[in-house]
Structure 1
């Protein structure tokens, strides 16, 4: 029987094995009591199975309140356990929204639970093939950008909002001249009145086509098309018509179904922005971990996935960023298709954070995106991009950045400016 296995961190005042059984029943064939029609045959075919319950400790106070427990006057201690439950894929079919509902859904609302975090999902290879694959993934992104053997160096349009299409096109022109590989819109700039996408895409793509004719290289521009589904399809068609290669969407606000629809509609690379993920992930005993989160969106067919950055401006530890990057760089299912996606490192990145980033990714298959690290370089964006190349060349040659800075002026200026912040 084909089954998706979900791993959870569970907190409850009841015996965790009993609550795990409740979870399995709630999300498959059962409810809080056995009902008419719930035959032994049906349960054998469709019931979820608790595979393991590992006790991790207990605490005197609950993480979350529960009116259910208050009504029953149930108190601590509150047990912490790691629980694995297997759900038959026959219950779900090829239905990403229902898969997400099955492995999470009402579980967060069960009265006996005072803490629950979905940590990871194990997707069978045969079941994975029922869903979309990346249209470009790592190999296709490298082919499109003509970048092989090193990271893809990119930046973000700044200021975030407020620039006209002409302003943005002028900045893109300067970045293309400087040798950038990838540019993306900010997540809050999709279709603003000052720079509507109907004007912004043609203006920017005119510049990119100009540089493609000059150099033979096409800079990949991720246009933010986050919107309702029909609008996203129209915007993707505009990008295609203008010769573009990539679109960006905010996953949490467009949703799984929106991303599936977009993937089915366009062969463009989908740059997946996870803004808002912290609301799901930051609490240690509530929400969803990155591995489970990214697995769901990889089934929607994305090509690039944000993993934040090491030493950046966000809350993630180096270990969390490393775990996210390596999850993207591995197959979703053992024995399944090559569905690796390009991890996009962003958030306060500059040449000085490149060594730790390369170590995290265990190689150069990554997007290294520097907003301020390029655009705020004291010698200008051209030197910002040069500092990244100088840093990578030095690291590839076995040099430290400090030693390399003696003979590489753009890198030296970056270290002097960003290294003190």
Structure 2
């Protein structure tokens, strides 16, 4: 019978030694054990604090995925399930991450070590507030918008002068876009400081709203020194900003949790740097593990890559990322999955087919800014593509229908981005 306060982890391991023994070494290293018995490791400590290997499924022999001190031709692969006592961790996210995804990656006996799944006790989940806004809170701040939300990134991502930046934001806000975000590279440069960027963007968004009636959200990147994080957040809020952005892997989960403790607006969680611990299938952790930790730490919106993107994840993996975000996590609010990279009118169809949800934010850079008829047509074409996807209408058919009705935005987008779609 499973202990309801156990933290259950599933790992993919490779070892030259017998997989059960390798799993036991890993479990001991990450709980009460050491590589040699020590006098203080009593039966009482082992009983209460030792991690327990509860299942080992051998997968056969393979070439080693990772280097180590030895270089065997073949190693033995296995899926291993380990229960960690919550008593070792308490409810602290940093301590949890250290236990389940810390020193174990360095063990010489392991030629692969990847955390593939995580099941947290209800007590651990309940100890964290999770997102304050999530999907519904974001929708409310954008005027109750329905369906998939459409956003974009300020491009060029760095180097714009204040006046150039103003014109970009003006065009996008006048296009009634749902969300604009800073690039992850744009923080607080001397040529366009955060303070001026916030002032200019909020001014242009307010002016556009008077014309369009649509309250665009801007996600200001407040990534930077930890000591100044609250000051940068307050700068955005005091100017009337509706969202802040954090590069979560760079700043760390504790920084995200601290931001959540005082944030008055949604937190847009960027994943810049995450692939360093996720891309190799023999090392790090799966997205469905990381997103649980980021949700508990308080991210309202979380990047999940995008179908048909320029990034490395295949579409099936991206769809699984999105679905993991939409899965319930205790009683916490559901975060908004953010799709990015290479998104345009050709991607709503495959995306909706894969995830069957419009509780999404699609960030389209060129898909908006590079539309031949301008950003307004770019935003409109994406909304039309999403409507067609939900209604089951082929993209080309929808484009022809819209053009016959007097709006060629989708048709021109298909011609520009479709490649025969």
TM-score for both structures, normalised by structure 1: 0.94
Displacement of 1:313: 1.3
SS at match of 1:90: helix
Aligned to 2:53: 50
Find the partner of 2:34 among 12, 31, 34.
31
Matches within 5 A, 1:303-314: 303-314=300-311
Q: Is the 8 A contact 2:133 2:333 kept in 1?
A: no
Query: Deviation string for 1:148-175 (max 9, x for gaps)?
Result: 4301110110001111233222221211
Distance 1:402 1:275 in 2: 34
Return 5+ residue gaps in structure 1 as ranges. none
Q: Does residue 64 of the first structure (1) align with residue 66 of the second (2)?
A: yes
Higher alpha-carbon deviation: 298-307 or 280-289: 280-289
Find the partner of 1:209 among 206, 220, 224.
206
SS at match of 2:255: helix
Q: Would you identify which runs of 4 or more consecutive aligned residues in structure 1 move more than 6 Å?
A: none
Query: Deviation string for 1:259-318 (max 9, x for gaps)?
Result: 111111212211111122222222121222111121221121101111111112111111
SS at match of 1:292: helix
Q: Is the 8 A contact 2:132 2:333 kept in 1?
A: no
Matches within 5 A, 1:134-213: 134-213=131-210
Distance 2:112 2:391 in 1: 49
Find the partner of 1:353 among 347, 350, 363.
347
Find the partner of 1:7 among 7, 10, 24.
10
Find the partner of 1:83 among 80, 85, 94.
80
Query: Deviation string for 1:28-84 (max 9, x for gaps)?
Result: 11111222222212211111111111111112x4222222x47xxxx4530000011
Displacement of 1:361: 2.8
Displacement of 1:17: 0.5
Aligned to 1:371: 365
SS at match of 1:114: strand
Q: Does residue 384 of the first structure (1) align with residue 386 of the second (2)?
A: no
Distance 2:126 2:409 in 1: 46
Matches within 5 A, 1:161-310: 161-310=158-307
Distance 2:419 2:73 in 1: 49
Structure 1's 396 and 256: CA in aligned 2 closer, same or farther, altered over 3 A?
closer
Query: Deviation string for 1:117-156 (max 9, x for gaps)?
Result: 1112111222101123101011101111124430111011
Aligned to 1:419: 418
Q: Is the 8 A contact 1:326 1:360 kept in 2?
A: no
Displacement of 1:216: 4.4
Aligned to 1:93: 90
Return 5+ residue gaps in structure 2 as ranges. 403-407
Displacement of 1:352: 1.1
Distance 2:60 2:289 in 1: 23
Count of residues in correspondence between the two structures: 412
